[in-house]
Structure 1
Amino acid sequence: MFEVKSVNHRYCEVVLRMPRDWTGYEDVLRRKVQQHVKRGRIDVTINREHDESSSGPVLNRSTVMTYLKAADQLKNEYGLSGELTLRDILSIPGIMESKDEAAGAVSAALEDYSEMLETGLEQSLQSLLEMRAREGSFLAADIEQRLNHLETMHAEMVELAPVVVIEYRDKLRHRLNELNDGTFAFDEHKFGMEIAIFADRCNIDEELTRLYSHFEQCRALLKGKGPVGRKLDFLIQEMNRETNTIGSKCNHLTLVGLVLDMKAELEKIREQAANIE
């Protein structure tokens, strides 16, 4: 019986659990999982089916004899004293095993399970991939909707960007007029230079352009085929960086509010992207 489960993970981590006598196939099965899954923690559990008549522990006599011989060698070679008790022997790993494990250990050298294991794992992986594909389509639709919201906020930022300088100019002129008591002359040239310096310092045109470009790249990734999770992670980091820069440059209450809303939306997209391969 095969059971395959997956959870979020930045990389591809495969955890295999199977009867001890099948551990020789672990590398082959691990590579098969990695051929199909590029991201996430994949837990694969393989159990050997058995009926009630084959259940129940049995004594592994060969292991008992191995430990008894080793105890005699220690006594003879090193002059050690003491006896192995029944409790000591029963506490040794591998002394007691199920009947099907005992039978498998005997026949492991005579029978090749590789084809059976690979076929069963392949079928389980296909079911997992179908489920992940359905989930991925819902996640892509959700991210697309959030991108639309980001673009709406981006458009508001584009409209507000030139207004920031105009409002600063008007406020500064009004403030200077209030402070001017006639003891100093108003210098229009210096006033213009101050406005120019402020306009250059708070200019966010480049950040807005790059941000819109990242939106388009994100949409292209969602429509493409193949693993896109890591690329989405990188794009979200870049969008966060541009948004932070806008927040540090802008000197406008409405723009600051839009930056905060955009960062919150990007965090939701980042959480969703963590579920995408």
Structure 2
Amino acid sequence: MVFSMTGYGQSTQEIGGYKISMEMKSVNHRYSEIVVRMPREWTCYEDRLRRMVQQRIVRGRVDVFINKERAGESTSSVEINMQVVDAYMQAAEQLRQKYGMSGHVDVNELLRLPDVMTVREVTTWSDEQLQACLEDGLSEALEGLCRMRAIEGSHLEQDTKERLARLEAIHAELVEWAPVVVTDYRAKLKQRLEQLADQHLTFDDAKYGMEVAIFAERSNVDEELTRLKSHLQQFNQLLSSNEPIGRKLDFLIQEMNRETNTIGSKANHLELVNRVVEMKAELEKIREQVANME
């Protein structure tokens, strides 16, 4: 089964008067990269959440966004940092003694000073409950992401198989036309030599045969066609496997391009050249599809 590297998933959980929303999106990437963005106080759960994603996603960049917002009234507590208050009061007394300043420190002004007052939200859940909530939300978002990747992957697989069938058809045509190259060259060369033959230039069967043999060796593409057929078979087998195949398919496309280029450089026949051009165009389209496969 083929999976795309592109997908999206989301979920919403509630705990202790808060709504926790998760969004996941994945895009193409040569390797595996997982980025988790969440409230700073929850970063202790990041490694666990990242491992959960790694168990399902082998290749691609995955961004995980976790946000929290109040779903109702929450309980808060106010804490006064008495050490900071004492420091401010001592500083005020020093100013009065040194510069003869008068006046007193007002409570309202004191509460506005930095670090004097801290408002803390009172949570009603345990660490285990929060971890379970985050894991449940991630599992739901991850399931949606993988479902979308599977649907997109099936479209990629179908399109790739159709193009691969066309490549196999072109390969069959190349096999059929390959022997014709030498036959046509032999006939054209003989015709030219006979046209040029006169009392100063006579037709030499031995030299003619040698020239044809040299051309046949130089334009022979049997090995390239055999390797190309093997690559096509491997490509088909990989499309039916249940493992990540994107990088392997990318390598096979490089090899098929190499064989196709060699056939094109050796081909000295219009029919072969036309089919090589068509094959290269199909390979490029398949390469674009494979770039999206996990």
The TM-score normalised by the length of structure 1 is 0.78
Q: Which amino acid aligns with 1:34?
A: Q
The count of aligned residue pairs is 239
What's the counterpart of residue 157 of structure 2? 140
Within-5 A mapping of 1:118-157: 118-157=135-174
Higher strand share: 2
Shift in Å, 1:181: 2.5
Shift in Å, 1:8: 1.3
Instruction: Summarize deviations over 1:6-40 as a string: whole Å, max 9, x none.
Output: 11111111121111111222222222211110111
Q: Which moved more, 1:176-185 or 1:235-244?
A: 176-185
Q: Which amino acid aligns with 1:111?
A: D
Shift in Å, 1:191: 1.2
Shift in Å, 1:114: 2.8
Q: What is the RMSD computed on CA atoms of the aligned residues? A: 2.8
Residue 272 (structure 1) aligned with residue 289 (structure 2): yes
What's the counterpart of residue 22 of structure 1? 42
Residue 221 (structure 1) aligned with residue 241 (structure 2): no
Instruction: Summarize deviations over 1:111-149 as a string: whole Å, max 9, x none.
Output: 343332222212211221122112111211111111111
Q: Which amino acid aligns with 1:23?
A: T
How far apart, CA to CA, are the structure 2 residues paired with 1:46 and 1:60? 28
How far apart, CA to CA, are the structure 1 residues paired with 2:187 and 2:199? 20
Q: Which has the higher contact order (CA 8 A, sep 6+)?
A: 2
What's the counterpart of residue 252 of structure 2? 235
What's the counterpart of residue 33 of structure 2? 13
What's the counterpart of residue 77 of structure 1? none
How far apart, CA to CA, are the structure 1 residues paired with 2:141 and 2:245? 23
What's the counterpart of residue 58 of structure 2? 38
Residue 158 (structure 1) aligned with residue 175 (structure 2): yes
SS of the residue 1:240 aligns to = helix
How far apart, CA to CA, are the structure 1 residues paired with 2:266 and 2:285? 24
SS of the residue 2:65 aligns to = strand
How far apart, CA to CA, are the structure 1 residues paired with 2:40 and 2:198? 93
Shift in Å, 1:176: 1.5
Higher helix share: 1
Residue 3 (structure 1) aligned with residue 17 (structure 2): no
How far apart, CA to CA, are the structure 2 residues paired with 1:225 and 1:243? 29
What's the counterpart of residue 127 of structure 2? 111
What's the counterpart of residue 209 of structure 2? 192
How far apart, CA to CA, are the structure 2 residues paired with 1:125 and 1:144? 28
How far apart, CA to CA, are the structure 2 residues paired with 1:276 and 1:141? 12
Q: Which amino acid aligns with 2:39?
A: P
Identity of aligned residues (%): 58
SS of the residue 2:242 aligns to = coil
Larger-gyration structure (1/2):
2
What's the counterpart of residue 87 of structure 1? none
What's the counterpart of residue 97 of structure 2? none
SS of the residue 1:36 aligns to = coil
What's the counterpart of residue 176 of structure 1? 193
What's the counterpart of residue 111 of structure 2? none
How far apart, CA to CA, are the structure 2 residues paired with 1:51 and 1:133? 34
Structure 1 gap ranges (5+): 73-94
Within-5 A mapping of 1:80-119: 103=121, 111-112=127-128, 113-119=130-136
The TM-score normalised by the length of structure 2 is 0.74
Instruction: Summarize deviations over 1:209-266 as a string: whole Å, max 9, x none.
Output: 1111111111111111121111111111111111111111111112111111111101
Q: Which amino acid aligns with 1:179?
A: L
How far apart, CA to CA, are the structure 2 residues paired with 1:208 and 1:148? 16
Structure 2 gap ranges (5+): 1-20, 92-114
How far apart, CA to CA, are the structure 2 residues paired with 1:61 and 1:139? 61
